Amino acid sequence: MVSTKTLIPRLLNFALFQAGWFAGVLLAARGRPLAALAAAVAAIGVNLWLFSSDRPGDLRLVLAAALIGFCLDTLHLHLGVFALVGAPRFSRLCPFWLAALWGLLGTALRGSLSWLAGRYWLSAALGAVGGPMSYLGGAKLGAASLPANRAFGIAALAVGWAVAMPLLVWLAHGRGRESVHG
């Protein structure tokens, strides 16, 4: 059972994660990628300031999550798994605002998602379902579009996230690391 002392920070971490994600996606959808980046970075900063007991370690986790997301989404863009609205056709690199949203996910791995520690199959399943749902949400909000063969896009996102999420959970909690929030 989770105590109130740890539940409140986890709920606040989740709320900041969601607020940062929505702000980033909505700003990107409106053609403001620098503002989207700033919103995601601000949410990361607030999370680290309020909840981190190991800022250097948590910052490394945020940077690792951003790098993993940058690489995975660059691959997805190259494969045509999704396209970003307003992005130049020739641009196949993951934009910094989107990589920052991955970094924001890094703040949740030891917070609101800390219950995934050591649960790699569950984190793979959550990634396979939740990852594509976030891109579908981004598409509904106008920041991205999925290919005409939507099943291909969703399947490719599911596979990518099913691999990325356990890796991120391992980076957050592997080798005996504890949750920031208890």
pLDDT per residue as tens digits for the range 50-109? 988 889 999 999 999 999 999 999 999 999 999 998 776 667 899 999 999 999 999 999
The domain containing residue 59 runs over which residues? 4-176
Which residue from 130, 134, 77, 69 is spatially nearest to 97, judged by alpha carbons? 69
- Tracing tokens 């989404």 back to the chain, one arrives at 73
Class of residue 1 by CB neighbours under 10 A (exposed 0-12, middle 13-18, buried 19+): exposed
How many domains in the chain? 1
Q: Is the pLDDT confidence value at 178 over 90?
A: no
Whether residue 114 lies inside any domain: the answer is yes
Q: Is the pLDDT confidence value at 177 over 70?
A: no
Whether residue 182 lies inside any domain: the answer is no
pLDDT band at 180; cut points 50, 70, 90: very low
Whether residue 181 lies inside any domain: the answer is no
| pTM score over 0.85 | yes
Whether residue 44 lies inside any domain: the answer is yes
Whether residue 134 lies inside any domain: the answer is yes
Whether residue 132 lies inside any domain: the answer is yes
Q: What is the mean pLDDT of residues 169-179?
A: 74
Q: Is the pLDDT confidence value at 25 over 90?
A: yes
Whether residue 100 lies inside any domain: the answer is yes
pLDDT band at 4; cut points 50, 70, 90: confident
